[in-house]
Amino acid sequence: MLDVVFYQSNQDLLQKMGDENPPLIICPSPQVADNLRSLAPELNIITISKWTSDHLKTLGLKRARKSELMIKLAPVWRHYFPSEGTSLFLEAFELFTELRSYTLNIELLNEFLAELDETTRKSIHIFWIYLDQQEIIDEHLSYLKVTESKNHQTFWMVGFKHMSGVQIDMLKTISEEHSIVVLFPQSVYSESLPNDWIRWLSADEVIREKSQIDKSDIKINIIPKGKANVVLEKFFNKHPAFDLVMAGTQIGLVALQEAQKKKSFFKTTEDLFSIEIELLTLEIRLILKEKKSLSSEELNLYLEDQKKISISSGQYRKFKTLELMQAALELYSEFQPNIDAFAIDILEFIVGLNSPRVSLLSLESHTERMFIDMNGLNFRDEERSIGLFATVSMGGFRANERILSEAMTKALRVIGPIKRAGLDFLFHKYELLSILKDQKNILLIEEQLLESDLSWREILKNFNLVEYDLDVHYKIKEVKEHLNDKKKSGPFIQTYFSASRLQSFIDCPQKYYFNYIDKIDNRPDERSALGPDELGNLEHKIIAAYFEENDFQSEAEVSIKNHRKSCLRIFNEYLIESSLILNETEKARSYNEIMHYTLNGIVFLHELMKTKKAVSIKFEIPLKENPWILKGSIDCLIELGNKKVIVIDFKRSSSAAGTKAETIEFKKIQMWVYLLTLTHSGQEIDSFGYLNLSDINDDKLFFDSADSEKLMTDSMDSAKEVIEKAISGIKTEVPFLPSPREAKVCSFCAVNLFCLKGETL
């Protein structure tokens, strides 16, 4: 017999389980199981994963993990699609695993598969056939195999927010001989839709009336933007023993720092291996690029050598990463002996999946409160008082779902229940309402959420909001000028002008004043990280050094070995010369960016020069004498055989250069300064633009020969006028008032925190 039993609250659930005393409780995850054990330690509670594995063992079977399945399917897929990108494989693989949750009979999916493109459809067929032929047991097949076990007993399913079609079929099969109960919140069921999974289980006689919620009062404190830490300080001073529930499902350490206090317990995940994985795969990519081809045997020897080095130097995280890479490589090489870019992508993904899961938690000898997120609300202790804390930065609790066409949805709906984000929200709503209905609890919510978030409107419509005073008082912002007294009156004599000076003045006169007249440097001498300007300068140096030390005309390809030497030498020289104190993680991150970005720039320039048949490349070329007294240097000039030049400025990201429209509209004038001085000296321009070192495929900021010729013909006079106007403004400006061109120009201003940004007194 299969029965659905509804409960109204945690206490109601505990009473039902206490009355019936079920022999076994099955939960969807370890967290839900742990929460339930804390409320009912006398019950036999396990996860569905453990329950399934135990039954498979009695049959002499073992379930393949997702990472194992992927590493076996990837080389098979590559055989059929040797030129397709990794993203297509990953998309097809995820869809494949999702479809198997509906049914293990691929023929039932023919209508759905007909809606897919040919490559994805063929990929899914290949995956399906391979699993069948190799008799691999994935998660979904394991549920079918479990029905063959003879060791079943009566059990209750508790805490499930979704069940797949295959899981439902398993329950129905087992229930023919055993009693199975699925416990489910009544209020969630009342608002569920006909095709939600619980409706596939519930009997016709189940009561479906919507539960009525009496409109009651809740205590609420509305938090102004940016004042959450102040409010929490007052809150815990007044309520030291309240638990804090953070209304989000992806709460990390940064969000917890808003509220960290002594005598508090929290636990959050932390990825300690991502940087090691990134650095290792970067090294493998560089080796492949240098050698042109790479076998699995060669890669394994390299990994073995690196393991010895990492052990001798005490780099244990790196050692673990190398071990995981070797294990993944062993599986992959059973099917594909050669390592290409696709293989490296897959190995990186697999190592990430198999890396140890690490959590950070507070270490206190005595704790008075807990900090938990929405994932920890299942079967919480309702005797504990709660402060429900919600801000915009927490990201809310609406789940993502795959967007399918109407035809696809229709095809799947007849096979099994479709996972729906709306149902996830109903569970969150049920859990939040259970907190808010308890008069001892308090809601602390940021004002933007209260005003504009539809989810919170839906939840709070059932309550009267009663203001709860935490004795935190906010005055209306008093507009006060702090900087005028610090400034001297102009005009000031300027001996020269540069592109960056003109841009700063166009962006905001006051920003120009504190950058170039009363110079303020608010960066400490000793720092624990490289600044963006330092990273940019190092990247410029390395690119220039490579071309100065290597003959591009005789090289068919970029030398990875020589590039790496330049990176190591220049990076280490700078660390010795500067006052930087970098930890190993920050050093690795900085070096990783520098190596990545400079290789991108070198490859782009190398290919551009080959295509354009360039005769020379120069870096940091000073501007020639000109009537505007413009000084500075051009990052890169490439001279062609026809004596024309390509003008390139390096940027670490596209946002640093602005948009193409900003260049055309003279909101960004750096490139125009270079073009004006070059053309004044009689130089002809072939093309120009910005090189985004983080993404060499980003050509949105580059003007090719045809575009540059037309743009210069149409716009050079206007650019000259804008530049001369800015020069004149700098020469005659007296007050240097704050007048930002747009909000984003304030981001890197030295006086940003004290500036009125154009507000009037």
What the block records as the tokens of 704 is: 């090719």
Whether 290 shows a pLDDT value over 60: the answer reads yes
Of 335, 355, 375, which residue constitutes the final position of a domain? 355
- Beta carbons within 10 angstroms of residue 313's beta carbon: 10
159 and 52 within one domain: yes
Which one has a higher pLDDT value, 383 or 542?
Answer: 542
Lowest mean pLDDT among 25-29, 278-282, 310-314, 745-749: 745-749
What the block records as the tokens of 721 is: 């006028």
619 and 608 within one domain: no
693 and 756 within one domain: yes
625 and 716 within one domain: yes
Q: What angle do CA 121, 122, 127 make, to 5 degrees?
A: 100
pLDDT digits (tens, 9 = 90+) for 330-352: 999 988 889 999 999 999 999 99
User: What integer is the mean pLDDT of 129-134?
Assistant: 94
pLDDT digits (tens, 9 = 90+) for 679-711: 999 999 999 988 888 876 665 577 888 778 888
What pLDDT band is residue 356 in, cutting at 50, 70 and 90? very high
Percentage of the chain lying above the pLDDT 90 cut: 45
What average pLDDT does the chain have? 87
Helix (H) or strand (E) holding 290: helix 274-291
Decide if 544 is inside a domain: yes
751 and 645 within one domain: yes
Which one has a higher pLDDT value, 713 or 162?
Answer: 162
pLDDT at 161: 92
Nearest CA to 211 out of 197, 183, 192, 196 is that of 192
381 and 485 within one domain: no
Distance CA 82, CA 75 (A): 10
User: What integer is the mean pLDDT of 217-233?
Assistant: 86
Specify the number of domains making up the chain.
Answer: 6
What the block records as the tokens of 119 is: 């490559």
Distance CA 414, CA 412 (A): 6
Between strands 358-361 and 369-373, the pairing is unpaired
User: What integer is the mean pLDDT of 93-112?
Assistant: 94
pLDDT at 759: 55
Of 580, 595, 612, which residue constitutes the final position of a domain? 612
User: What integer is the mean pLDDT of 392-400?
Assistant: 71
User: What integer is the mean pLDDT of 729-745?
Assistant: 86
pLDDT at 476: 46
Which one has a higher pLDDT value, 482 or 512?
Answer: 512
Distance CA 707, CA 690 (A): 14
What pLDDT band is residue 490 in, cutting at 50, 70 and 90? confident
Contact criterion met (CB below 8 Å) for 277 and 351: yes
User: What integer is the mean pLDDT of 264-291?
Assistant: 88
Decide if 208 is inside a domain: no
pLDDT at 378: 80
Give 467's contacts (C-beta < 8 A, 6+ positions apart): 220, 221, 222
Domain range enclosing 699: 477-522+613-761
552 and 417 within one domain: no
User: What residues form DSSP beta bridges with 446?
Assistant: 223
Residue 242 belongs to a domain with what CATH number? 3.40.50
Q: Using omega within 30 degrees of 0 as the cis cutoff, is the peptide bond preceding 41 cis? A: no
What the block records as the tokens of 476 is: 């209306």
pLDDT digits (tens, 9 = 90+) for 562-593: 998 999 999 988 888 876 777 777 777 788 88
Sign of CA dihedral 461, 462, 466, 470: negative
Decide if 209 is inside a domain: no
Q: How many CA atoms lie within 13 A of 111 on its CB side?
A: 12
Decide if 447 is inside a domain: yes
48 and 100 within one domain: no
Decide if 207 is inside a domain: no
Residue 24 belongs to a domain with what CATH number? 3.40.50.10930
Whether 271 shows a pLDDT value over 90: the answer reads no
In single-letter form, the type of residue at position 738 comes to P
Q: In a 3-state reduction of DSSP, which class is residue 442?
A: strand
Whether 13 shows a pLDDT value over 90: the answer reads no
User: What residues form DSSP beta bridges with 47?
Assistant: 27
696 and 641 within one domain: yes
pLDDT at 252: 78
What the block records as the tokens of 165 is: 């079609």
130 and 120 within one domain: yes
Whether 209 shows a pLDDT value over 60: the answer reads no
Of 136, 160, 183, which residue constitutes the final position of a domain? 136
Whether 664 shows a pLDDT value over 90: the answer reads no
Decide if 388 is inside a domain: yes
Between strands 358-361 and 267-270, the pairing is antiparallel
Decide if 210 is inside a domain: no
Whether 522 shows a pLDDT value over 60: the answer reads no
Give 310's contacts (C-beta < 8 A, 6+ positions apart): 316, 318, 319, 322
Decide if 722 is inside a domain: yes
148 and 29 within one domain: yes
- Token pair 């095809």 is found at 411
pLDDT at 318: 93
Which one has a higher pLDDT value, 583 or 616?
Answer: 616
pLDDT at 641: 92
Whether 398 shows a pLDDT value over 70: the answer reads no
What phi and psi values does residue 670 have, to the nearest 5 degrees?
A: -55, -50
Nearest CA to 670 out of 684, 653, 650, 652 is that of 650
Distance CA 154, CA 253 (A): 41
Nearest CA to 715 out of 647, 658, 664, 656 is that of 664
Q: What angle do CA 708, 709, 715 make, to 5 degrees?
A: 80
Distance CA 293, CA 340 (A): 7
225 and 173 within one domain: no
Whether 482 shows a pLDDT value over 80: the answer reads no
